[in-house]
Amino acid sequence: MKAIVTATVFVLFWFTCVSDGKRNVLVLLGDDVGFQFGCYGNQKIRSPHVDALAKRSLLFKNGFTSVSSCSPSRSVVLTGLPVHQNGQYGLAHDVHHFQSFDEVQSLPLILASHGIRTGLIGKKHVKPDTVYKFEVEVTEEEYSINQVGRNITFMKEHVRDFLEASRNDTRPFMLYIGIHDIHRCDTGGKLGDFCEKFGDGTSPGTGVIPDWKPEVYTPEDVEVPYFLPDTPATRQDLANMYKTYSRFDQGVGLFLRELENAGFADDTLVLFTSDNGIPFPLAKTNLYDPGQGEPFMISSPYQRDTWGKTTELMASTMDILPTILDWFQIQYPKYSLNGQAVQLTGKSLLKALAPNPGPAFDLVFSSHVFHEVTMYYPMRVIRTMGMKLIHNLNYRAPYPMATDLYLNPTFLDILNRTESGETLPWITTLDKYYFRDEWQLFNLTSDPYEQMNMADAPEYHDVITSMQTTLNAWLVETDDTWRCLPAGELEGNTCYPLYNGGKKGMGRNK
Amino acid sequence: MKAIVTATVFVLFWFTCVSDGKRNVLVLLGDDVGFQFGCYGNQKIRSPHVDALAKRSLLFKNGFTSVSSCSPSRSVVLTGLPVHQNGQYGLAHDVHHFQSFDEVQSLPLILASHGIRTGLIGKKHVKPDTVYKFEVEVTEEEYSINQVGRNITFMKEHVRDFLEASRNDTRPFMLYIGIHDIHRCDTGGKLGDFCEKFGDGTSPGTGVIPDWKPEVYTPEDVEVPYFLPDTPATRQDLANMYKTYSRFDQGVGLFLRELENAGFADDTLVLFTSDNGIPFPLAKTNLYDPGQGEPFMISSPYQRDTWGKTTELMASTMDILPTILDWFQIQYPKYSLNGQAVQLTGKSLLKALAPNPGPAFDLVFSSHVFHEVTMYYPMRVIRTMGMKLIHNLNYRAPYPMATDLYLNPTFLDILNRTESGETLPWITTLDKYYFRDEWQLFNLTSDPYEQMNMADAPEYHDVITSMQTTLNAWLVETDDTWRCLPAGELEGNTCYPLYNGGKKGMGRNK
């Protein structure tokens, strides 16, 4: 009884506090954005605005996405639940047609029920609307995706409108800005592979974005990341991407200035990350580090001692919802999905701002099912600082290709060089890229590029067993429907062996 | 202009006709029901009511489902579109969570917009509600599935209510009855593997269905179909299924009697079929003939000369919507899905009741993507009277097992016999069952059990090429997102080759 009274007093106190407008949240989410920033060590790119944010943030050197695919990743940000639990198994738009379970309690719904004003400006890309309902929405459902996601002047004005309305509102706010850059461009080449000509003021017929001063790069003027072939095609592709990064970077600067101009800079928690890896092989849709790793920053006006610092602590996009609830001191609601009580398995990143954050920062999980609906390739991943274990459930099939990861200069160059037998200075081959072992275990200390699978190495037997156990416990806790596959069939809570236990006559079932 | 005037006159005439109440439709849809009926040549089963319906129907010896899976199949019945076009790629319930596109024009929506009363009694199992909206619904969404789908007395009363209300309604009606028998039972064994004890009056605690007089069978008293092992386990499994068939059969009799008592027998078109094959290996979820073939009857009060006859003409569940629209003389609406205009590719079965039905009755197509969401195994099929071609897109993976197809006496017996090396009198092996070639071509005349894949046989080169061309044309016409896989990537309307055209370094990519 005493505990209940205490809690009530505490909640009342806290609401008083919040109604002063002292705690808001701004989420800045990039689209296919990677580590091409000065603050992440890139020597070639010019990213003054993101770098400035880093100077007032704690920067995670080990930030990760829960799933390297657009709609799925956004659903994790907005639910705190892995995709196998929230139902957004793949992309939401068009024929892909995936959407979360109707009963999911999303961040905007929870916040709204606690008197917090919510807004989404930019790319949304999750379904259904009833689950992902913000009070203010300026999204691709109403505007063209380029306008709402790449026209940083257009976006800035809507950010200003939202913030001005918040000044006249006693409620705190959570504003989520989904920048569509640096996603590849869907408009058939006219705007460039990365829409880098969209509004650049020099390409005829592509308009002008007044706030954007494009930074232009030559193919010599880029860093080719270790996981891409250093070829002219890739360098040109990256140079185009870099130009689009400048629009992203300047957008971040604009939006943060709006926050400051509106007087919210000193009471707003800013979270900065991206949905998935850059749109290149081994990155986007993959859960190798180039796909799983994300830039990740948290800027708290109340923990300025952490500003400009970096940390090795591991953060996940699954932590964003717990962080925001913690910031607002809101309890996650009690409810069930498909008959199982839902528990958050992420952690509040606010703990990373204080001493002794604890063992929750020593590992992250990822879970992927689809990107496009034609791309069935479930993966379950546990990553610690030193080791990564990937479980590929449909490993017999080739790794599937997203359309934007296929029809681009870098990948077509890889295809053509492979076919013609020309030199291909790449850390892998198409064959290895397509065909993966069921279990992949990498020692990230000795093998940071994830080249040597140690899953069958006797000296790693204890390591893999322990990681499998930890991974499986998480899959049970998050009610993963796929958790018995490919070796078994889930019925109730039991895995029944399939395929005769891999015995007689099951030659192809490794 | 003249054409428009003619059409208007015609429509007006037809509405006058329909408003006399002279044309109604009753659809009787079984669940996992196969050919275990006297009218289909089964010598052991007692099925007087279905046999009586056959005596007033044209019976199709070559009836087929478009997809051998519950929700997908029902979506095809109710949309006339294959699953890859209507979006109901797999099961609708729980974690599987598939549903048709919001824009789909379903049978009940089209009929309602033309002033026809629609009702659904029994199993529904398709989503979303806005697409599959009947005026009257008595389904598992309101009642337990066993009550609404297997308690034939309960169902009969709701059928009576619907028909009585129709007597007091000037509109014609379409009533769809989704009988849940003979689906396996989900309630953990207490009611038997086929819920054969549910309401049988002799099993304690399982209630009584007043209208059901159970027919009981011994294991000796069944016909083991060619595609199942003739073992004691299978025979007992079949005997239990036969008992459940008697509930199904008597339900059909009850509902038809209600139709007669209500005075609608002489103006109601009755369509009888099932969603997919019986719940045994090689049948349900498969598109071998035991999975693709369905009992199929059409009873027209206006074509009594066809009563009691059988036909070799090929019918598909995809034809049901065109048949019903033809019966009511309604045009299919003009609209698009995912940017492509929608055209029906099924045919009206009313043409089978008249002379010279035409070449549309010479072939059927099937299209499967998922059953459960964990069971990704897209298949595309073209079947003529003499040949069948199956394209397995995820052929490298083992054929996936549905939970009800795994945890049953017949399949566990197969598993155990395979493991122990005991005799297994089966037409295939587990290895062959699980691992299938990408292309499977069967000569159904010389090889009706689909045992010999002729896809690579030189003498069938022209046949397979021609069938592939016809199949592909249908996939383009129905806007199949999967149509380039596994060898290519669809972008716009073009298939781009994947995997380097199967050349260098692609050893595992057959």
pLDDT digits (tens, 9 = 90+) for A343-372: 999 999 999 999 999 999 999 999 999 999
Residue with tokens 């297994």: B424
The residue of chain A with its CA nearest to that of B489 is: A403
In this complex, the residue of B430, B506, B509 whose CB is nearest that of residue A505 is B430
Which tokens belong to B366? 């099937």
Euclidean distance between CA atoms A296 and A177, whole angstroms: 15
Here the tokens at position A377 are: 């390739």
User: What distance in Å separates the CA atoms of residue A257 and residue A277, rounded to the nearest whole number?
Assistant: 27
Q: Is B112 exposed, middle or buried (0-12, 13-18, 19+ CB in 10 A)?
A: middle
CA A284 – CA A288 distance, rounded (Å) = 9
Residues 6+ apart with CB under 8 A from A270: A25, A26, A27, A28, A53, A57, A256, A259, A297, A298, A299
Task: Report d(CA A7, CA A13) in Å as an integer.
Answer: 10
Residue B14's φ and ψ, nearest 5 degrees, are: -65, -40
8 Å CB contact of B403 and A489: yes
Of B95, B490, B491, the CB nearest to A481: B95
* Minimal-distance CA residue of chain A relative to B414: A500
Question: What are the φ/ψ torsions at residue B234 (nearest 5 degrees)?
Answer: -65, -40
Q: Which residues of B are catalytic?
A: 70
Q: How far is A188 from chain B (nearest CA, A)?
A: 10
Phi-psi region of A421 (alpha: psi -120 to 50; beta: other; left: phi over 0): left
Nearest-neighbour CA in chain A from B408: distance (Å): 12
Q: Is B27 helix (H, G, I), strand (E, B) or coil?
A: strand
Opening angle at CA B56, ends B51 and B57, nearest 5: 85
Each residue's pLDDT, cut to its tens digit, for chain B (510 residues) gives: 334 434 444 443 443 333 344 799 999 999 999 999 999 999 999 999 999 999 999 999 999 999 999 999 999 999 999 999 999 999 999 999 999 999 999 999 999 999 999 999 999 999 999 999 999 999 999 999 999 999 999 999 999 999 999 999 999 999 999 999 999 998 667 899 999 999 999 988 899 999 999 999 999 999 999 999 999 999 999 999 999 999 999 999 999 999 999 999 999 999 999 999 999 999 999 999 999 999 999 999 999 999 999 999 999 999 999 999 999 999 999 999 999 999 999 999 999 999 999 999 999 999 999 999 999 999 999 999 999 999 999 999 999 999 999 989 999 999 999 989 999 999 999 999 999 999 999 999 999 999 999 999 999 999 999 999 999 999 999 999 999 999 888 988 899 888 654 443 333 332
Of B421, B434, B489, Cβ closest to residue A403: B489
Contacts of A397 in chain B (CB under 8 A): 394, 396-397, 486
3-state secondary structure A259-315: HHHCCCCCCEEEEEEECCCCCCCCCCCCCCHHHHEEEEEEECCCCHHHCCEEEEEEE
How is B71-110 classified by DSSP, letter by letter?
A: HHHHHHHHHSS-HHHHS--S--STTT-----TT---HHHH
pTM for the model: 0.94
> A interface mutation test: which of B499, B503, B509 has the most A CBs within 10 A?
B499
| Helix A232-261 with A48-55: angle, nearest 10 deg | 50
Of A284, A505, A268, A475, the residue nearest A366 (C-alpha): A475
SS3 call for B341 = strand
| Per-residue confidence (pLDDT) for residue B358, from 0 to 100 | 92
CB contact set of B356 (below 8 Å; sequence gap of 6+):
none
Q: What is the DSSP letter of B331?
A: P
CA distance B491 to chain A (A): 7
Contact B407 A508 (CB under 8 A): no
Residue in chain B nearest A405 by alpha carbon: B489
DSSP one-letter code for B399: P
- Residue B208, class by beta-carbon neighbours within 10 Å (0-12 exposed, 13-18 middle, 19+ buried)? middle
Q: Which residues of B touch A499 (CB under 8 A)?
A: 398, 430, 434
List the single best residue of B336, B431, B490 to mutate versus A (max A Cβ within 10 A): B431
CA distance A396 to chain B (A): 6
Token readout for A451 is 């080249």
Pairing of strands A309-316, A293-299: unpaired
Place of tokens 């990365």: A194
Q: Do A403 and B373 touch (CB under 8 A)?
A: no
Domains of chain B: 24-357 (3.40.720.10), 387-497 (no CATH)
Asked whether the beta carbons of residue B498 and residue A394 sit closer than 8 angstroms, the reply is no
Structure tokens at A5: 């009274």
Contacting residues of A for B398, CB less than 8 Å apart: 396, 486, 498-499, 508-509
C-alpha distances in Å from residue A135, one per residue of A99, A109, A138: 20, 9, 10
Cβ-proximal residues to B303 (8 Å cutoff; 6+ apart), any chain:
B58, B353, B354
Question: Pick from B412, B322, B305, B403: which is nearest to B361 by CA?
Answer: B322
Decide: B355 and B309 in contact? Cβ < 8 Å.
no
Q: What residues have CB less than 8 Å from B227, skipping those under 6 apart?
A: B280, B281, B282, B283, B288, B290, B427, B449
CB contact under 8 A, A419 and B485: no
Determine the pLDDT at residue B17.
Answer: 38
End-to-end CA distance of chain A: 57
Give the CB-side neighbour count of residue A270, counting CA atoms within 13 A.
28
pLDDT (tens digit per residue) in A470-498? 999 999 999 999 999 998 889 888 998 88
With beta carbons less than 8 A apart as the criterion, state whether B214 and B201 touch: yes
What is d(CA B126, CA B88) in angstroms, rounded to the nearest whole number? 8
Residues of chain A falling short of pLDDT 50 = 1-21, 501-510
The one-letter amino acid at A256: L
Contact list, B421 vs chain A (CB under 8 Å): 504
Cis peptide before B182 (omega within 30 of 0): yes
Cα atoms in the 13 Å half-sphere on the side-chain side of B414 = 29
The interface pTM score, or ipTM, of the predicted complex is 0.92
CA distance, residue A403 to nearest chain B CA (Å): 7
Query: What percent of chain A is modeled with pLDDT above 90?
Result: 89
Give the residue from A97, A99, A129, A342 with the most B CB atoms within 10 Å of its CB, the best one to mutate. A97
Residues 6+ apart with CB under 8 A from B291: B65, B68, B276, B277, B282, B283, B284, B285
Full DSSP string of A157-225: HHHHHHHHHHHT-SS-EEEEEE--TTSPP-STTTT-TTSTTTTBSSSTTS-B-TT-------GGGSPPP
Contact B315, B290 (CB under 8 A): no
Are residues A507 and A396 in contact, defined by beta-carbon separation less than 8 angstroms?
Answer: no
Judging by beta carbons within 10 Å of its beta carbon (0-12, 13-18, 19+), is residue B168 exposed, middle or buried?
Answer: exposed
- Helix spans in B48-183 (H): 48-55, 70-79, 83-86, 107-113, 145-150, 152-167
